[in-house]
Chains A and B, each alone.
Chain A
């Protein structure tokens, strides 16, 4: 397709993004980056891991997003005594009919909020992550496809680590984005305060349907990515693996292992989704850079030396972005 026509099509079809943000903005003040990332996760058919201290409207944002989309939302509070069957469902014996009937679990929804995912043991995390990857659930000998769109938004509290089961690197890698949520600004907090003390809570209207999302996903796949951009993405990902080749010798001892090919895939996908959100039919380096931190921060492991010097994966990504030449 001609790029001008594509650009025009994207501009037309992505109109709902603004409507969606306006609707969510009735309830959520600020947190623009988090909302943008949630939409990118939705458009990129990926899942999002949210990290932030309690009370930053993580749950409310997801609930509002689900409410504005005429879709089914489920919240699962992860606890140490949770079982895989509590997520995926189980077989229940029916005494009347003398047979087993399937009781589907809360995973059978469009939007799943896995609250404090690191509080549940590994077997429960695995059950969820398997469903995330395969987009299907097997109860007894019956396999069920999960409804599309299927988006898991997991939250982690970074301050309480006691009694938690940190997600292994291989499982964290399955999240397309890891978003760190920060406190609102002073003005935003004032608005939040006023909004929450008002008697009438704003009502959220369903402005888009799950079909709109599926249609948008197809369009995201059509967004043009120039080979210069592809090379730029590869340069960034390869710099996490062999920083020496990119003149970043000082990072060699700080990176335990670099980003996987899943990072390149998701970076390209995320950049496309970002271009869609910004209502463009092509990707520019700006899209790559703006999504890069959220795509890569959980895919780079730092060494003990780096930890001792308080160097995080974010510091490494920043150094890489400041070194790799933008096309």
Chain B
């Protein structure tokens, strides 16, 4: 029975009808397979390299190949990839190669921490023709390594980049030099011009410096003429006479007598060689004045007169002595 069945099949395969049918079936199979292949979809995701440094730009490329009748629905890559910092999206490319559509999406990401990072797989949706049925296909995860920057702690801290050197702009330098020279020449000319003008017109008047003793003597004479104490203004008389003498000391011996107390003035006077001879007179003068000014002391008229005499004595005895004229040294030449 088995032998008969085998024999029947062998005969059947050898018939002309079977051979024609076999050829038809092969052609039909070819068309069926071609159509299936034309409607397929493939996705891939790659990065420009697998090794980066912290802060480098990472280019993530998503490629979708599909037939004409397929519509791919790409999700928001920016929101789907959380492990990287999204920087920007590059222009989208779409090509038709041999009846196949190739879509390329490029994104720039970055990473600010070192280590291995796996970009997760992306789920791409697609639908065929006008069908509302949505299918999905996923990319493979991509693993990259982010390296940290190597810092050499042995070396000094330096700028990342050397300072830029501006190229010498000779034209600018020449212009600046010309302007500066012009201004200097103009200034010099103006200076010369005004100097000449001044020389011709202004007559210098020598400053008249009145010596302190002359001022003091004049003021003492004026005070004497006012007859203060004779008119009952004893305190005012003593205040004014001490002020004249203190002002004289300030101008003559160059210390702040107006801001000093009587004892401080006496101490300052005893340090000045030219004033040592008047210290005791000044002591008497100031102690009398202090009594009147601060202790309601009413001096005898004789004391008031003596105050004036003492003030004149203080000034007269400290008038700078005229410098002896310098006589040229005679050299006896033999």
Residue numbers of A with Cβ under 8 A of B are: 3-4, 7, 224, 226, 228-229, 281-286, 289, 321-327
Question: How far apart sit A289 and B267, CA to CA, in the bound complex (Å)?
Answer: 15
- In the complex, the chain A residue whose C-beta lies closest to that of B296 is A3
User: Chain B residues near A286 (CB, 8 Å)?
Assistant: 261-264
- Interface positions, chain B 293-307, Cβ under 8 Å from A, are 293-297
Q: Which residues of A contact B239 (CB under 8 A)?
A: 228, 327
Asked, given contacts A284-B290, A286-B263, whether A226 binds B296 with beta carbons under 8 Å apart, the answer is yes
Query: Least Cβ distance of A225 to chain B in Å?
Result: 8
B259 within 8 A of A: yes
Bound Cα distance from A226 to B297, whole angstroms: 11
Determine whether the beta carbon of A322 is less than 8 Å from that of B256.
yes
Q: Contacting A7 at CB < 8 Å: which of B256, B258, B260, B295? A: B295
User: CB distance A224 to B256 under 8 Å?
Assistant: no
By beta carbon, the residue of chain A nearest B256 is A322
Fill in one digit per residue for B295-331: 1 if any A CB lies within 8 Å of its CB, else 0: 1110000000000000000000000000000000000
| Contact with B294, one of A284, A321, A322, A324 (Cβ below 8 angstroms) | A284
B258:A325 contact, CB within 8 angstroms: yes
Most B CB atoms within 10 A — which of A289, A321, A322, A326? Answer: A326
List of 10 A-B pairs having minimum Cβ-Cβ separation, nearest first: A282-B295, A286-B261, A226-B294, A3-B296, A285-B261, A284-B294, A3-B295, A325-B258, A282-B294, A284-B290
Least CB separation from A288: chain B residue: B261
Contact residue among A228, A323, A326 (Cβ-Cβ distance under 8 Å from B261): A326
Minimum CB–CB distance from A101 to chain B (whole Å) comes to 55
Residue of B nearest to A225 (CB): B294
Provide the residues of chain A in CB contact with B295, threshold 8 Å. 3, 7, 224, 226, 281-282
Cα of A327 to Cα of B259 in the assembled complex, Å: 9
CA distance A4 to B259 in the complex (A): 28
- Tell me which residues from 244 to 265 in chain B have a Cβ below 8 Å from any Cβ of chain A: 256, 258-264
Q: How many residues of B contact A (CB 8 A)?
A: 15
Closest residue of chain A to B260 (Cβ to Cβ) is A326
Contacts of A323 in B (CB 8 A): 259
Enumerate B267-309 residues with CB–CB distance to A below 8 Å: 290, 293-297
Query: Apart from A4-B297, A228-B293, what are 13 other A-B pairs with CB-CB below 8 Å?
Result: A3-B297, A7-B295, A224-B294, A226-B295, A229-B294, A284-B290, A285-B261, A286-B261, A321-B259, A324-B259, A326-B260, A326-B261, A327-B293
Q: Give, as a whole number of angstroms, the nearest-CB distance from B38 to chain A.
A: 85
**Nearest-Cβ distance from residue A105 to partner chain B, whole angstroms:** 44
Rounded to whole Å, the gap between the CB of B267 and the closest CB of chain A is 11
Q: Are A325 and B259 in contact (CB under 8 A)?
A: yes
Q: Which residues of B have CB within 8 Å of A228?
A: 239, 293-294
- A7 contacts across to B, CB distance below 8 A: 295
Tell me the smallest distance from the CB of A267 to a CB of chain B, in Å: 15
Contact call B258/A326, Cβ cutoff below 8 A: yes
Min C-beta distance of B235 to chain A, whole Å: 9
Which residues of chain B are within 8 angstroms of A281 by Cβ–Cβ distance?
Answer: 295
Please indicate the chain B residues that have their CB under 8 angstroms from the CB of A226 in the complex. 293-296
Among residues of B, the one whose C-beta sits closest to the C-beta of A323 is B259
- In the assembled complex, which residues on chain A have CB atoms less than 8 Å from the CB atom of B263? 286
Residues of chain A within 8 A (CB-CB) of B297 are: 3-4
Instruction: Report whether B261 and A284 are in contact in the complex, using a CB–CB cutoff of 8 Å.
Output: yes
In the bound complex, residues from chain B placing their C-beta under 8 Å from that of A327 are 239, 293-294
**A289 and B293: CB pair below 8 A?**
no
A283: chain B residues within 8 A (beta carbon): 294
Complexed CA–CA distance, A125 and B264 (Å): 40
Chain A residue contacts of B258, Cβ below 8 A:
325-326
Residues of chain B contacted by A325 (CB below 8 angstroms): 258-259
Q: Are A322 and B293 in contact (CB under 8 A)?
A: no
Show 15 A/B contacts (Cβ-Cβ < 8 Å), sorted by A.
A3-B297, A7-B295, A224-B295, A228-B293, A229-B294, A285-B261, A285-B294, A286-B261, A286-B262, A289-B261, A322-B256, A324-B259, A326-B260, A326-B261, A327-B239
Chain A residue contacts of B262, Cβ below 8 A:
284-286
